[in-house]
Chain A
Amino acid sequence: MRHRFVAVVLLSAAVGCGRGTAPEPTGGALHVSLHPAASRVLPAYVDVTGLSASELASLRAAHLGEAEWQSLFTVRVGGEAAGLDLPAVGGRYAVTDRALTFTPRFPFDPGRSYRITFDPTKMPRPRQAASVTEVVGLPPVATVPSTVVTAMHPSADVVPENLLRIYIEFSAPMGSHSGLDFVHLLERTGADGGTEVPVEGSFLPVDANLWSPDHTRYTLYFDPGRVKAGIFPNRQVGRPLVAGRRYVLTVDSGWTDANSLPLKAGYRYEFKAGPAVDEAIKMSDWKIKTPLAGTREPLVVTFAWPVDHAVVVRALGVETTGAASSPGATSALPIVDGDIALQAHDTRWVFTPTAPWTAGEYNLVALSFLEDPQGNRVGRAFEVFDTGSNEPTPDAFRTAFTVAPRR
């Protein structure tokens, strides 16, 4: 029994059921082997060769159940004798004109060992010969850590002490593990900030999937029970961040990526906590620098404080006026097409139209779920006293601006 990772180049000639030499009439020496994927529709599979034409025919005619197949031709996870008490890998068995093949229901993992055993005494027409066993595996996709943290949001040197949400961005897709074991908040104390003391229990205990669909961004929530004034944990132990104090958020390099490799390096974001921002976003506080007609100059909106780096992408836009037929309506609006960019630590939104501006009236539109990183929304702070009102919240808020003709 040997252990080998199959080299793709060496086996490429063997890929493809039904090709190769025809079976010997009386059967030959039995071989089991792994064939790497030839394409997306032909995944990696294992087979046993050396079966005679009549043995193959009897296998084909036997219509074995999955348990019988697995007893005859067994694929288990792990090398050597590991995992012998665990079930076999599930998959599809097929008899070709030269071999018995097994294709796993889920593709073999690169870099993982599989133990394949063929027991010829369990064939419908048993052959009195010893079992054949191989330990095989596909080569790992990568062996050298390369994924790094590319950014955190917010990113400013000072963040409000009631910060609720942080985004951590990565250079490549990460695995599925929660960040709670790998991200730490430490307070930097001492004259030079050189002493770092962990701030325990800072984050919301959510171990589930807060990854972006492509797993390149992780959302970390501070525990709202500590952030929010008046809740028992807040009154008991206070906010994780306290205005005036210095902190560092660290990401351990042990957090693994989609190839199960650790990060190339850890990450540090040093910042100071500032006063809480606990009021609603007001569009009237924003500064709007308007472009001139006939140009593709950007519309530049400067916020009173940073908005949420992700939500703003979906929640802020430009429309021409006149079509908003009723207050709060958001349907069938002539929306101005363009590109946006966020600048200056998410305090500046720069909109460049696809086509030159025409002179006239426009609206800057903020959908009601626009938030800042503290959870404050347009017209509604994160912490708000119950008014008892069940009035619906408008779907959108608008501020008019004018694009003047060029002189």
Chain B
Amino acid sequence: MRSSLVKISAVLAFVALTAYAPAVAPHAVAAASGPQLQSIGPLSFGPNGVLYAADPLGATLYALDLGSQATGGAAGTANVAGLDQKLAAMLGTDAKDIAITDLAVDQRTHNSFVSVMRGQGPNAKPALFRVDGAGAVTEIKTESVQYTSVALPNPAPATEGRGNQRAQMITQVRYANGRVWMSGVSNEEFASKLWSVAYPFTKADTGTSLEIYHDNHQRLETRAPMYAFIPYTLENQPYIIGAYTCTPLVKFPVSQLTPNTGSKFRGTTIGEFGAGNRPIDMILYKKAGKDFILMANTSRGVMKVPTDTFASATPLTMPSNQETAGVPFEKIPSMVGVMQLDLLDATHSVVLQGAQGQPLNLQSVELP
């Protein structure tokens, strides 16, 4: 079977090298201009308007300083009907030939930023847009954007032949307490990796990658891809609250994060939100003095989850005959067809919404 013929020495050597971090003092990564993005999405804003953008194909996480391109528009985000059609037109193509990969709001201006892959297959190219409070849609000229970057762990090493076809999909990027967090799923091994790196990036810090587990029914130890998460503080301790397919909600104490290769980052399942479903996005907001998570899903709509029971929630370790269990949540029936979600301001979310095969609308929705 010649198609599987591959030189393997380079592969093993590469994997061996990635297990060890260089033992040198960290040096700050110098900012440069014009990131050479091969792909784009997910996005997330950090403090001071830094836009974190994952490039899964280029196996790189970028921290973008959009400079004057982040400002100058009307504050807020206006509703834009058929946003996918407008973006496609500006990119010189049809809406069916673009993929909107994420939506993120700059909390300084409340403008929305939308990442797009233009084209089909291996030749698809990245693009980034801003939507302002007047509904103006502007393409960000990335060639003039200042950036720093860090390589993601275990990019597909170059091998001879077509032996290595591994790709890493990034499902979510978030900043919290001086670190950027990222979850992903591979098109090969079935694992759940949570990776984090200190920001500002330094030359010596290649990040910490941990395989994460959570206990499921019957105390089965589960490794599965995490699709959406937020950093959150419970009882003065930092946690990651993550959501998986089919749809457990899991809390991970950040204190367990250690840089030892192979260590387990163990989570506790505190909710089960239903089968046949994949989380898309989750945001944190405050209403009437209480914290809530708003979570968009592929087939189970939008859910509002109060966080006040998270700290004391009983771990779900026993088999349940109920489709849902654990911490309480409510469905928001007025929010349908949500494909992207972010927090717009203190009272509104912004969503990209539309029915299958129909134009996608960008609109603000009052937080429930």
Contacts and interface: CB of A to CB of B under 8 A. Distances in A.
Interface stretch (B29-37, B184-192, B301-309): B184-192
B220 A386 contact: yes
Q: Which 4 A-B pairs have the closest CB atoms?
A: A258-B121, A392-B262, A212-B165, A175-B120
A343 B187 CA distance: 22
Contacts, number: 256
Interface of B: 1-2, 4-9, 11-13, 15-17, 19-20, 56-57, 85-86, 88-94, 97, 99, 117-125, 127, 137, 139, 156, 159, 162-167, 169, 171, 185, 187-191, 211, 213, 215-222, 224, 245-246, 260-264, 266, 272, 275-278, 298-299, 319-323
A259 B89 CA distance: 19
A316 B90 CA distance: 47
A89 B92 contact: yes
A235 B319 contact: yes
B191 A369 contact: yes
Contacts of B224: 224
Contacts of A221: 190
A108 B220 contact: no
A231 interface: yes
Given A213-B156, A230-B220, A365 B190 contact: no
Interface stretch (A54-62, A243-251, A288-296, A327-335): A327-335
Interface string A283-318: 000000000000000000000000011110110110
Nearest to B266: A390
B19 A331 contact: yes
Interface string A153-186: 0000000000011000000011110000000000
Given A215-B122, A384-B220, 13 more contacts: A88-B89, A106-B118, A164-B190, A176-B124, A211-B167, A213-B57, A213-B165, A319-B12, A335-B9, A338-B7, A343-B1, A375-B190, A393-B262
Interface in A382-397: 382-387, 390, 392-395
A258 B275 contact: no
Interface stretch (A3-11, A20-28, A202-210): A202-210
Given A86-B86, A340-B8, A331 B118 contact: no
A402 interface: no
Interface in A333-379: 333, 335-343, 351, 365, 367-369, 371, 375
A87 B187 contact: no
Contact of A317 (B9, B188, B218, B323): B9
Given A213-B156, A313-B163, A331 B92 contact: no
Contacts of A173: 121-123
